[in-house]
Structure 1
Amino acid sequence: MAVVLIASPAFAHHPFGMGDSSALTAWQGLISGIGHPLLGPDHLLFLLAIALIGLKRPLAWVVPLLALGLGGSVLSQFIPLPDAIAPWAEALVSLSLVAEGLIALTVLSPFWLCPLIALHGFLLGSTIVGAEATPLLTYFLGLLLGQGALLLLVAAWSKGLLERLGSQGQRLGAGIWMGIGMAFAWVALID
């Protein structure tokens, strides 16, 4: 029974489905905030791909990226995402994986991570529009904790990973990430 619940589409991004965010408790907000970036494959892969980019000082990027992601989530509370635009926004988030591949290939500047993580934050925050103040704040705290832990791990892991992969492995990884991003974008638009 638990497997069926976990596999249901409502749990694809949130442990509590997020159908009606106005009924969330503080604990559910916190758990959903921690879980959303880890359970949504496009968000998780975006955070993991930062290890492939080869930032000169990856740990120096953690706080600005967290701030921009959280800022995007807060902004979504004031500028709601219309339902008609949601599939296009999800496709754009998926295409951020393509952009990360291009960053890893040095075609794009690493500074593109800044607006991209803000876009991810915007979509992460848009799922909790209408929640009461307490679960909303605990959701944001959960986002901060979940994304922060993952970004710290990825930043610390980045240099060793790139040394093991070498430049050819980095290019291959970038190509794989770009393919995944395009596939996710296609699914978001035709689904």
Structure 2
Amino acid sequence: MSFPGSQEGSGPLWLRTPQSPESVAPVRRLRSSLLPLCGLPILLLAGLLLSGPAQAHHAMELMGLKPTPIHGLISGLAHPLLGPDHLLFLLALSLVGLQQRATWMVALLATGLGGSALGLALPNLPGAEAAVAFTLTLVGLVLLDRLPRWVLVPAFALHGYVLSDAVLGWTAGPTGSYLIGLMLSQMALLLVSLWAMRRAAASLTPTRQRLIAAGLIGCGGAWAWSSLVG
């Protein structure tokens, strides 16, 4: 029995006819593609609610472990996950990397390793933490086409520089395994976030990209200011 003006899948719930699996599948695929895209704004909002740029707590200190090669590897793997500013930076890079080749990611990781080596040789430069927080603003400006993409390469080196603070004073064995774990962890995060963003690329409208860029700019500026005055 049909009613005037009623259509399949529209109108009041009690008037709707069952939808076929073929018509529901595209909706489910769209919803699943939006999930990765929604994660970054949520993380950005959580970051803005923090009082300042959270320092990446040393996993070794949290677990009360002594520096050994295996513990250094574990610490390096965990370290990018413990600093919200660095984690957001890595996730945001996946938006920039949508149109880039794989060699771009390799260049970033190599530059980050070079930054860590510089941090071991010349540690504790003033303002480094504030500069790391400000790199989020740089990513936002790149997404808005206000800055060229190459500025993110030295920005990644700066992150590597700050992440080397965790192993100052360690012997060569634990330090080397820490750097290996750090590089593997960053590579995994970049690959996973890039895969997720490519799945959600169809739903990444210019408006949404501008909103994400604005969140990154605001988050980076707030954290950098908090680090300078804190």
TM-score range, shorter chain: 0.7 to 0.9
Is 1:104–2:143 an aligned residue pair? yes
**Matches of 1:46 and 1:118 in 2, distance apart?**
12
Q: Sort the Cα spacing of 1:70 and 1:170 in 2 relative to 1 into closer, same or farther, 3 A.
A: same
**Matches of 2:189 and 2:198 in 1, distance apart?**
15
Task: Give the corresponding residue for 1:180.
Answer: 219
**Matches of 2:97 and 2:111 in 1, distance apart?**
20
Is contact 1:99–1:178 with CA below 8 Å preserved after alignment?
yes
**Matches of 1:147 and 1:189 in 2, distance apart?**
26
Task: Give the corresponding residue for 1:95.
Answer: 134
> CA RMSD for the aligned pairs?
2.2
**Matches of 1:41 and 1:102 in 2, distance apart?**
19
Moved more, 94-103 or 156-165: 156-165
* 1:55 Cα deviation from its structure 2 partner: 4.2
Is contact 2:119–2:165 with CA below 8 Å preserved after alignment?
yes
Q: Which amino acid aligns with 2:136?
A: L
Q: Sort the Cα spacing of 1:169 and 1:47 in 2 relative to 1 into closer, same or farther, 3 A.
A: same
Q: Which runs of structure 2 are paired with 1:1-191 in the superposition (5 Å)?
A: 12-17=56-61, 23-53=66-96, 55-82=98-125, 85=126, 88-191=127-230
- Higher RCO, 1 vs 2 (CA within 8 Å, ≥6 residues apart): 1
1:109-129 per-position Cα deviation (integer Å, ceiling 9, x unaligned): 111111000000011112212
Is contact 1:72–1:121 with CA below 8 Å preserved after alignment?
yes
**Matches of 1:153 and 1:116 in 2, distance apart?**
21
**Matches of 1:105 and 1:160 in 2, distance apart?**
21
**Matches of 1:32 and 1:54 in 2, distance apart?**
27
Identity, % of aligned positions: 44
5+ residue gaps, structure 2? 1-53
Q: Which amino acid aligns with 2:100?
A: R
- What is the count of residue pairs matched by the alignment? 176
**Matches of 2:57 and 2:92 in 1, distance apart?**
19
Q: Which amino acid aligns with 1:43?
A: H
Task: Give the corresponding residue for 1:4.
Answer: none
Partner SS state of residue 131, structure 1: coil
Task: Give the corresponding residue for 1:3.
Answer: none
* 1:54 Cα deviation from its structure 2 partner: 5.3
Q: Which amino acid aligns with 2:60?
A: F
Partner SS state of residue 70, structure 2: helix
Q: Which amino acid aligns with 2:124?
A: L
**Matches of 1:54 and 1:39 in 2, distance apart?**
23
Q: Which amino acid aligns with 1:153?
A: V
* 1:187 Cα deviation from its structure 2 partner: 1.9
* 1:11 Cα deviation from its structure 2 partner: 8.3
Q: Which amino acid aligns with 1:30?
A: L
